[in-house]
Structure 1
């Protein structure tokens, strides 16, 4: 089992797509361990996107991510980082395949609705930014109907 961070970004919140996107994760059999709506502060943005702060596009990224609330989710599942990133599709919504979240709902490179951690190390670091208080660990009663016992 892995845990990853997913952010439903300001465009997702403003367009009222939160429920539809969360449903896709739940329908896939992934488990939400924590969720909250918040405003990303400029300092949180710099911490989250630390590797991009010195890049020329960073100011517009910070302006966007701090422009409206986001919904942060901690999501658990087998190979969840790879699974979620596959569900999101290509970063640019114009290039994302139909059937992916971005392919179905986005037509922009920046207004691409969602962020997801790209590695176990990123997930650990990003989850601490948004869920310093931790998450709710629990065992779903549906797990026996989602995968075999040896998976």
Structure 2
């Protein structure tokens, strides 16, 4: 009988440890991701605003991608952390905020990916043999594509 009690005790201890680790990971994980994400986006921002890259349409697309990634990471992680750990009931009490948050958490990363796609297309255009296709790799076109 004591062997069975020891087995149950070990399982209970293991389960308690897993619950503690899980709780700590959901608390500290988003904080670490937020810090690393903001640092990475700021590094991208500093890189792509360098004077040598200010008139480069591909760098402009990457800069816009970094901006949308920063907004996405900040908004998504902070609102989720507030709901999970700080007792924010805004998600439960405001249907408008709930729907807006769900929409932005989905759309902002897609917009960042859209800009990376545009930078790839821009690089294809700029390295084309055709002068007509190369003419699409301009800042004026980049600004217009950003507005779309």
Structure number having the greater helix percentage: 2
Structure number having the greater strand percentage: 1
TM bucket (normalised to shorter chain) is under 0.3
TM-score, normalized by length of structure 2? 0.20
TM-score, normalized by length of structure 1? 0.20
Per chain length, whose mean CA-contact separation is higher, i.e. which structure has more relative contact order (CA < 8 Å, sep 6+)?
Answer: 1
